[in-house]
Amino acid sequence: MREGERILIGLWLVMILIALYQVPLLIREQQRRTLLVFTILWLLATVYGSLFLSNVPVPRPTDVIYTFFVKLAPEGQ
C-alpha cells in the first residue's frame, strides 16, 4: 500500500470516528437541524479531503466562498 493510500484511509478513519462520536449525541438530544448541518459539512469535508489527498485539482475553500458571495451580491456593488 502506498503512502498516499494510507493517508487517505487515515482521513476516512478519522472522519468515521468523528461521526461515530457526534451523531449519536445529536440523535439522543433530538438536535435534528444540527444533525442535518453536521452531516452536510461532514460530507463536504470528507469529499474535499479525499479529492485533495488524491491529487485531484480542487479550488481552495476561500475561493469557493468568495465566488458564492460575489454571485449573491447585487450588480454594481
The 10s digit of each residue's pLDDT in 14-33 is 999 999 999 999 999 999 99
- Is 22 among the domain residues? yes
Number of domains in the chain: 1
Q: Which helix (H) or strand (E) holds 54?
A: none
Q: From CA 12, how far away is CA 31, in angstroms rounded?
A: 24
Contact at 8 Å (CB) between 54 and 41? no
**Residue 26 CB contacts under 8 Å (≥ 6 apart), including other chains:** 34, 35, 38
Q: Determine, yes or no, domain membership for 77.
A: no
Question: Which range of residues forms the domain containing residue 46?
Answer: 3-72
Residue at 65 is within a domain = yes
pLDDT reported for residue 7: 93
Residue 61 lies in a domain: yes
20-77 residue pLDDT tens: 999 999 999 999 999 999 999 999 999 999 999 999 999 998 998 999 899 888 875 5
The answer as to whether 33 is a domain residue is yes
